Amino acid sequence: MRLLASTDFALRVLMRLGADPARHRSTETLAADIGVPRNHLHKIVQDLAEAGLVRTLRGARGGVMLAKSPGEISVGAVVRRLERGQALVECFRPDGGACCLAPDCRLRNVLWRAREAFLAELDATTLAACVAPPRPMPQAVGDDAAP
Amino acid sequence: MRLLASTDFALRVLMRLGADPARHRSTETLAADIGVPRNHLHKIVQDLAEAGLVRTLRGARGGVMLAKSPGEISVGAVVRRLERGQALVECFRPDGGACCLAPDCRLRNVLWRAREAFLAELDATTLAACVAPPRPMPQAVGDDAAP
């Protein structure tokens, strides 16, 4: 069972932005942090913006930031949105696929319930709950204090 | 969220065999039923045999049949086995992957619980519960009865 690599990366983008939601980050920084090529990141950010999860700021001091507070972002809603084109198995495809077992198959219902159980766990979680609180900055003792 | 195509096909093989567990089927018949090339089916059957789920009978009247009764086959155990090499996201890989959020990420635990919820639904189901009872043959009224 796999999520799309683009969903994995998108979750990392949200986690990065959610760690300091008042701050915007450049796509260059995000791409380097997450380890994806910049054009791949651009597509991910575009998807997240279309989903209303991030907003992009243009210009020299532009970048990306969350469009909502982390407490308003459900991990389940994010995964449902980003994986909306994915069929767990053939018969979950919008066109019904071409499985020899349809339409009398009871396995389909079992797999459907299992997928819902997976998503229900994520629905119950917000980005805020996933983002670790920022670490306190080390307290400087003097100007020459080691970082 | 997707399962491997080979897992999807393997589940169909088990469903087909489970519908009439006393009967063995040739790989040709199964491949045609399920709509996969024969050499692909051969690999799937080999995996299922290694997992102790089916046994293969050699010879002219050979074929494949379940190695256990459908009531003894847990759908969860089948999916866990067939998807054992699959990482839901990067950090589920056996080597830990290369995610920028590790090791402080709380999202990982959420995804882990979600995957377990998915598998728990399948663990609670046997192949017997998924296989629809065979339909009764239409009762012939006379030799000329319409099928």
In angstroms, the separation between the Cα of residue B1 and the nearest Cα of chain A is 5
Which 3 state secondary structure label does DSSP give B107? helix
* Residue B137: per-residue pLDDT: 58
Residues in chain A: 147
A141 pLDDT band, cuts 50/70/90, is low
Beta strand segments in chain B, E: 54-57, 63-66
CA–CA dist A86, A118 (Å, integer): 14
Do B62 and B56 contact (CB within 8 A), yes or no? yes
Mean pLDDT of all residues in A92-109: 83
Mean pLDDT of all residues in A49-53: 96
CA–CA dist A31, A13 (Å, integer): 9
Do B107 and B101 contact (CB within 8 A), yes or no? yes
Which 3 state secondary structure label does DSSP give A71? helix
In this prediction the pTM is 0.85
Closest residue to A107, CB basis, from B15, B35, B115: B15
* Residue B71: per-residue pLDDT: 96
In angstroms, the separation between the Cα of residue B33 and the nearest Cα of chain A is 6
Instruction: Please name every residue paired with A63 in a beta bridge, in sequence order, or none if there are none.
Output: A57
> Within an 8 Å CB–CB cutoff, is residue A3 touching chain B?
yes
- Partners of residue B107 in chain A, C-beta under 8 Å: 11, 15, 75, 130
* Residue B83: per-residue pLDDT: 94
CB contact under 8 A, A1 and B88: yes
Mean pLDDT of all residues in A33-45: 92
- For residues A91 and A43, the model is more confident at A43
A76, amino acid identity: G
**DSSP label of B124:** T
Rg (CA), chain B: 20
* Residue B100: per-residue pLDDT: 79
Size of interface A-B (CB pairs under 8 A): 120
A15 pLDDT band, cuts 50/70/90, is very high
CA–CA dist B147, B143 (Å, integer): 10
Do B66 and B14 contact (CB within 8 A), yes or no? yes
Options 1.20.1250.20, 3.40.50.300, 1.10.10.10, 3.40.1310.30; CATH of A5-130: 1.10.10.10
Please state, rounded to an integer, the average pLDDT across all residues of chain B.
Answer: 88
* Residue A139: per-residue pLDDT: 61
Within chain B, which residues score under 50 in pLDDT? 142-147
A78 pLDDT band, cuts 50/70/90, is very high
* Residue B146: per-residue pLDDT: 45
ipTM value, please give it: 0.85
A145 pLDDT band, cuts 50/70/90, is very low
Domain boundaries, chain B: 5-130
Burial A78-109 (b: 16+ CB within 10 A, else e): bbebbbeeebbbbbbeeeeeebebeeebebbe
Which 3 state secondary structure label does DSSP give A9? helix
CA–CA dist A96, B18 (Å, integer): 23
Which chain A residues in 54-93 lie under 8 Å from chain B, judged by CB atoms?
75, 79, 83, 86-90
Mean pLDDT of all residues in A79-83: 95
- Partners of residue A111 in chain B, C-beta under 8 Å: 122
> Within an 8 Å CB–CB cutoff, is residue A103 touching chain B?
no
In angstroms, the separation between the Cα of residue B146 and the nearest Cα of chain A is 24
- Partners of residue B86 in chain A, C-beta under 8 Å: 1-2
**End-to-end Cα spacing for chain A:** 43
In angstroms, the separation between the Cα of residue A19 and the nearest Cα of chain B is 11
